[in-house]
Chains A and B, each alone.
Chain A
Amino acid sequence: AQKITQTQPGMFVQEKEAVTLDCTYDTSDQSYGLFWYKQPSSGEMIFLIYQGSYDEQNATEGRYSLNFQKARKSANLVISASQLGDSAMYFCAMREYLGTYKYIFGTGTRLKVLA
């Protein structure tokens, strides 16, 4: 069964420190994509970063990087130099193509950045 697991319901990090949000996935498909989204308290969903299963290098977008370990089926999000505005809910998601695209989301990790 397709599955995304985020084991950290909540995390704290000091401002300017780096933080890693964990995500593991389960799929039997060879071709898939992994995403991270941010949801601030205002409620909107913001796309952060994408990693394709065939991408050889880890994806990076500014202060966000995705630590992709295919053999371990993990796709952790690393946020460097945390800012107060990074406080939000973070969702890991997977897209598979099984005739049509399917999307599955994890339960999310609530990150709080401390001043």
Chain B
Amino acid sequence: DSGVTQTPKHLITATGQRVTLRCSPRSGDLSVYWYQQSLDQGLQFLIHYYNGEERAKGNILERFSAQQFPDLHSELNLSSLELGDSALYFCASSPTGRAPEAFFGQGTRLTVV
């Protein structure tokens, strides 16, 4: 158990809908990272938050947004969902913004039908 909690584990929704994925980092970790893993795109870095502030942005679509709250949990919001958004979404946390190792949650498997 990495100590990173993601909910829900599975999510099935229809095209055009909006969903929110939640991540609770390890106790004391200030950094949260979001990744998307799909069959055709592989593992893609989406966004990094450190202590509530956005630190880095990767291949995140404009339909997607994220935030990190004062209690350090983070949410990834996906809107106007398309079939191609079906993927495994990982959250990871690390103690600082510079720490190289990141502890991953179990992921949320999103299926858009």
Contact = CB atoms under 8 A, between A and B. Distances in A.
Q: Do A and B come from one complex?
A: yes
Contact of A105 (B42, B103, B104): B42
A50 B103 CA distance: 13
Interface stretch (B19-27, B54-62, B64-72): B54-62
A39 to B, nearest CB: 8
For chain A, what secondary structure do more than half of its interface residues adopt (helix, strand, loop), or is it mixed?
strand
B107 A44 contact: yes
Contacts, number: 54
A113 interface: no
Interface centre among A91, A93, A103 (most CB of B within 10 A): A103
Contact of B44 (A43, A100, A105): A105
B43 to A, nearest CB: 4
A91 B45 CA distance: 13
Interface string A3-39: 0000000000000000000000000000001010100
A114 interface: no
A95 B107 contact: no
Contacts of A101: 48, 55-56, 97
A51 B67 CA distance: 29
Interface string A65-106: 000000000000000000000000001010100001111111
A58 to B, nearest CB: 15
B91 to A, nearest CB: 10
Interface in A39-60: 43-47, 50, 52
Given A43-B106, A45-B92, A95 B100 contact: yes
A107 B107 contact: no
A107 B88 contact: no
Nearest to B48: A101
Contacts of B104: 37, 44-47
A102 B58 contact: yes
B29 to A, nearest CB: 13
6 contacts: A35-B101, A37-B104, A44-B105, A45-B35, A100-B55, A108-B42
